């Protein structure tokens, strides 16, 4: 027989990075609880217990917080979709929580004089998403959608309140034309272009007939499936940047516009300067620095034809390896801009320092790894000057930060 999990009552005090509520029981121990709101009194089942903390699953809301609201999406309310963490929390509280999460993560730098600016909120609360990745399973009844948190069974999703209208139209087209021709397991990604049509990328087994039918739908500009492309090979986003569904692009157009503006301000005037961009992607930021004397952009993924934004010199390869080669070649830069993955940039920090930039602009989607890397740069002679949090993904716990460091 399995051991019955212990149940306790807790009072939720705040929200943590990742989205869980931070609660305390009668013994004072911190307990992390998903789908909690500050001020809730909850009955939770303990699924993990440690000396310093515990993790619990919400069993019942005993006394709801005044900050708790009715979730807009039934799939979220039924705990069948893991795409959002905070639909049950009113919008102002979400923003305040993200501000506190960033300030707590950067507390050491703030103590040394870092200015943490107020959170920017450029996106509407709903229908902000222009890019999405759906999983499918066709081993029985065909389903296409998202995974619930901690579950391996896909929830079938016909509509999502986070999707822009054009991307919702793409999802409808995918379900109508492509889903009947899918087999086994795989993924379907879609990105909405500035012209209102979406590019779709299919990873998995699909019949040619279903792919052709999808490509012919007015909501779709083109489809890639393996080595085949039907229709257009990409879509254009703002600023002329070309995007394909299977490559990263910021999930919100309004959010990306605000992010680019903040990056441009953080880098400052670049006329006559040499700029190095690491983890350059498809040139989303690269295009902002056409006034520089030279821009060198390093990206691990192949750079598709036509994406040589801003006259930059593109170098394909791992950021740490290519940056080390620039150091060995004796190159120097006035500004380094980097936008690494969630794991951060610890492998490239020594090279950044050796390239002697007067300014480093670090774009991060994870405040913990940002804080870790800032401490390394500070130890090597840089001063953390300013951090700007930006809410690019409402109803989730995600927060972007643009940090500026200057050579001390």
- pLDDT computed for residue 1 by the predictor: 42
Axis crossing angle, helix 367-379 with helix 91-105, rounded to the nearest 10: 30
Q: Which residues pair with 100 in a beta bridge?
A: none
pLDDT digits (tens, 9 = 90+) for 259-305: 999 999 999 999 999 999 999 998 899 999 989 999 999 999 887 65
How far apart are alpha carbons 95 and 68 in whole angstroms? 14
Are 156 and 258 within one domain? no
28: burial class by Cβ within 10 Å (0-12, 13-18, 19+)? exposed
pLDDT of residue 302: 85
Q: Is the pLDDT of residue 306 over 80?
A: no
Domain total in the chain = 3
Do 163 and 67 lie in one domain? The reply is no
Measured distance CA(171)–CA(127) in Å, rounded: 13
Q: Are residues 231 and 281 in the same domain?
A: no
**Claim to verify: residue 387 and residue 259 sit in the same structural domain:** yes
Is there a single domain that holds both residue 118 and residue 135?
no
Residues in the chain: 408
CATH of the domain at 231: 2.40.50.1070
Residue 89, domain member (yes or no) = no
Identify the bridge partners of residue 60 per DSSP, sorted by sequence position.
Answer: 43
Answer yes or no: is pLDDT of 307 > 70. Answer: no
Q: Residue 142 is part of which domain span?
A: 131-243
Closest CA to 188 of 75, 175, 212, 130: 175
Q: Which residue has the tokens 């993955």?
A: 341
Q: Do 66 and 118 lie in a common domain? A: no
pLDDT reading at 308 higher than 70: no
| Residue 101 counted as domain residue | no
Which residues carry out catalysis? Answer: 365
Residues 403 and 283 in one domain: yes
Same domain, 273 and 338: yes
| Shared-domain flag, residues 197 and 78 | no
Average pLDDT of the residues in 300-327: 84
Question: Distance between CA 32 and CA 34 in Å, rounded?
Answer: 7
Verify that 231 and 261 share a domain, yes or no: no
pLDDT of residue 28: 86
DSSP letter for 3, please.
Answer: P
In a domain, 97, yes or no: no
Which DSSP category does 241 fall into? Answer: -
Residues facing residue 65 across a β-bridge? none
309 pLDDT above the threshold of 80 = no
- Given a contact cutoff of 8 angstroms between Cβ atoms, the answer to whether 373 and 325 are in contact is no
Q: How distant, in Å, are the alpha carbons of 43, 85, 237 from that of 59?
A: 6, 17, 44
Paired residues of 115 in beta bridges: 386
Q: At 353, which CATH number?
A: 3.40.50.150
Average pLDDT over residues 120-149: 95
pLDDT digits (tens, 9 = 90+) for 347-385: 999 999 999 999 999 999 999 999 999 999 999 999 999
Q: 345 in helix, strand or coil?
A: coil
Q: What is the pTM for the complete model shown? A: 0.94
Q: Is 19 left (phi over 0), alpha (psi -120 to 50) or beta?
A: left
How far apart CA 192 and CA 252 sit, in angstroms, is 10
């Amino acid at each position: 027989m399995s051991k019955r999990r212990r149940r306790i009552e807790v009072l939720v005090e705040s929200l943590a990075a990742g989205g869980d509520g931070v609660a305390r029981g009668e013994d004072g121990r911190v307990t992390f609880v998903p789908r909690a709101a500050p001020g809730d009194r909850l009955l939770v089942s303990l699924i993990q217990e440690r000396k310093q903390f515990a993790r619990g699953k919400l069993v019942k809301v005993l006394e709801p917080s005044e900050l708790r609201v009715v979730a807009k999406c039934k799939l979220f309310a039924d705990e069948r979709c893991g795409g959002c963490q905070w639909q049950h929390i009113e919008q102002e509280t979400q923003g305040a929580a993200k501000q506190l999460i960033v300030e707590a993560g950067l507390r050491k730098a703030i103590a040394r004089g870092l200015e943490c600016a107020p959170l920017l909120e450029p996106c509407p609360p709903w229908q902000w998403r222009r890019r999405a990745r759906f999983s499918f399973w066709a081993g029985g009844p065909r389903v296409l959608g998202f995974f619930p948190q901690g579950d391996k069974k896909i929830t079938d999703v016909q509509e999502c309140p986070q999707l822009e209208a054009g991307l919702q139209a793409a999802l409808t087209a995918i379900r109508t034309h492509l889903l009947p021709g899918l087999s086994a397991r795989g993924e379907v990604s879609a990105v909405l272009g500035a012209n209102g049509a979406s590019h779709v990328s299919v990873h998995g087994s699909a019949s040619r007939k279903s792919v052709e039918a999808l490509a012919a739908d007015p909501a779709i500009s083109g489809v890639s499936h393996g080595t085949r492309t039907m229709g257009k090979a990409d879509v254009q986003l703002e600023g002329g940047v070309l995007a394909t569904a299977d490559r990263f692009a910021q999930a919100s157009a309004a959010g990306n516009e605000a992010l680019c503006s903040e990056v441009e301000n953080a880098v400052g005037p670049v006329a006559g300067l040499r700029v190095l961009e690491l983890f350059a992607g498809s040139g989303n930021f690269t295009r902002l620095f056409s006034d520089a004397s030279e821009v060198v952009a390093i990206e691990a993924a192949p750079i598709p034809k036509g994406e040589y934004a801003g006259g930059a010199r593109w170098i394909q390869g791992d950021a740490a390896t290519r940056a080390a080669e620039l150091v060995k070649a004796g190159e120097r830069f006035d500004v380094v801009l980097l936008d690494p993955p969630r794991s951060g940039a610890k492998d490239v920090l020594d090279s950044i320092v050796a390239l002697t930039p007067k300014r480093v602009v670090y774009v991060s989607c994870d405040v913990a790894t940002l804080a870790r890397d800032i401490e390394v740069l500070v130890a090597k002679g840089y001063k953390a000057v300013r951090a700007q949090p930006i809410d690019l993904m409402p109803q989730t716990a995600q927060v972007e930060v643009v940090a500026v460091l200057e050579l001390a």
